[in-house]
A and B are shown apart, each in its own frame.
Chain A
Amino acid sequence: MMRLSAIRTALITALLAGGSLLPFACTEKPAESERLPILGIKHAAPTSPADTLPDPVPSFRLTNQEGKTITNQTFAGKVYVTDFFFATCPSICPKMQSELLRVYKQFDGNPNVLFLSHTIDPAHDSIPVLRDYAERLGVKDASRWHFATAPQDTIFSLAKAYMTGAEVDKGTPGGYAHDGAFALVDSQRRVRGVYDGMVKEQVDQLIHDLPLLLKEEAENKQTAAK
């Protein structure tokens, strides 16, 4: 009888102790929460059981507003924000590009943050048109913010890789449907965030997230140097 009640007391004590730890588990922020998630879909077969990462952004070859070729190498060791637009877009682009301009200005002096806007209307948006657009938007430094063109199917498949929607749609004013998303990409070609460029709060989130990614990148560089 004594033994049974002792066990019961021990059990209750253990339960109470466990229960009192529970709130900590809920409220205490794990250290990983300061790390942005890795987004995307895994299409390729895993090379090992530990290989669960989504596919990286594929290799690309584009031409920017200065007529220079830009590839993944252009963004090596940097992080970048990318979106899809077209110069004559009458619907969401001006709002979207003015929001991206806000991010650009926020990281004006930081050479580790680059910007890449793809035209989804390469037939109209020639290099001079892109250059004029960039200048009118107030972007003088093409090496910080690339306005890029490529064959349309290349652009559309890249849009998929960045998880932003872009397609031909004759029913939409301007002839193209796209969702105004910004993708944040790290130096390992991984998408670390997707934000709705039409929503101020989401763009604020991007401005908040960028330093987190830069911190992670800097730490990775230090580890690699050791």
Chain B
Amino acid sequence: MTPKALHLAGKALLPLSAGVVLLLSLGGCFTERQNEGAKLYAAHCASCHGDQGQGLQRLIPPVAATDYIARHRADLPCIIRKGMKGPLTVNGVTYNQVMPGHEDLTDSQITNLLNFLQTNWGNQNQPYTIREASELLGRCNGSDGQ
């Protein structure tokens, strides 16, 4: 190859490689967010509710395949934000434990977390938009607008 041909080839490659870099960095953005719900569940919920959402005997209610998640769809954002206490019934079993709140999560993180639960492990419910979750969080003054 002559030096000139090399130069030309280099010129042609430059935009191509820039495109590849751009694509890769975009891919980085998407994949990081894609499993956010599952990652948040593993970090904040799995220790009590189980790594498959199975709960723990009659101490901790399951979140997998439960009527509660479908029936209390509108309450769930505030339950995650503020926690809850006192008896509740899930799939016909009464539980009575303390669940801590999560002031450390943003509205969008709560949305991703709940969407993961609403569409996995035998739950087939409508997911939330971030705007909807923020509105629902507003009911308990729990929206951080992020």
Contacts and interface: CB of A to CB of B under 8 A. Distances in A.
Say whether A associates with B: yes
B70 interface: no
Which of A91, A92, A95, A133 has the most B CB atoms < 10 Å from its CB? A95
B100 A94 contact: no
B88 to A, nearest CB: 14
Interface string A118-156: 000000000000001101111000000000000000000
Interface stretch (B9-17, B51-59, B124-132): B51-59
B59 A137 contact: yes
Nearest to B46: A95
A57 B52 CA distance: 38
Which of A92, A94, A132, A173 has the most B CB atoms < 10 Å from its CB? A94
Nearest to B54: A98
Contacts of B97: 88
Contact of A95 (B48, B58, B98, B100): B48
B58 A90 contact: no
B60 interface: yes
B40 interface: no
Nearest to A101: B57
B47 A138 contact: no
Interface residues of A, number: 17
B50 A98 contact: yes
A136 B98 contact: no
Nearest to A98: B56
Nearest to B59: A136
Given A94-B48, A95-B47, A138 B100 contact: no
B99 interface: yes
B80 to A, nearest CB: 13
A205 to B, nearest CB: 20
Contacts of A98: 50, 56-57
Interface in A169-214: 173-174
A97 interface: yes
A97 B55 CA distance: 12
Contacts of A133: 59
B57 A136 contact: yes
A105 to B, nearest CB: 11
A90 B56 contact: no
Given A90-B98, A173-B100, A137 B48 contact: no
A88 B83 CA distance: 13
Contacts of A174: 100
B98 A94 contact: no
Contacts of B47: 91-92, 94-95
Contact of B56 (A88, A92, A94, A173): A94
5 contacts: A90-B98, A95-B47, A95-B48, A97-B59, A136-B57
Interface of A: 88, 90-92, 94-95, 97-98, 101, 132-133, 135-138, 173-174
Pairs of residues from A and B, 10 with the lowest C-beta to C-beta distance, nearest first: A136-B58, A90-B100, A94-B48, A95-B47, A136-B59, A88-B98, A138-B57, A94-B56, A98-B56, A137-B57
Given A136-B58, A137-B57, 18 more contacts: A88-B98, A90-B99, A90-B100, A92-B47, A94-B47, A94-B48, A94-B60, A95-B46, A98-B50, A98-B56, A98-B57, A132-B96, A133-B59, A135-B58, A136-B57, A137-B58, A138-B58, A174-B100
